[in-house]
Amino acid sequence: MLTFKKYKFFFKIITTIFQISIFSLITSCTLKKNDILFNNETNNSQLKKLIIPKGINIPSENQEYHIPYTQEDLNKKNHDIFPPI
């Protein structure tokens, strides 16, 4: 009975070492293949240009955001929560 407990402990240690080694091998292989994710040159070329509708300005540091509402929009009883498109 004593030998079974020793073997059980030994197998637990072996399995944890095996799991850690598999985990480290898998992560190192995936990081080597995906170095594109860490390359800033390709990331900058993948960004798309933001399309801004006419009449809406992008605020600078000292400006507030302005949405061009009409007087008709302001007089409505049921206000839309979305800005006009």
**Mean pLDDT (the chain, rounded):** 70
What's residue 66's pLDDT? 61
pTM of the model: 0.32
pLDDT tens, position by position, 6-40 = 788 888 999 999 999 888 877 766 555 555 555 65
Q: CA-to-CA distance for 71 and 52, rounded, in angstroms?
A: 23
- Contact criterion met (CB below 8 Å) for 72 and 84: no
Average pLDDT over residues 41-50: 61
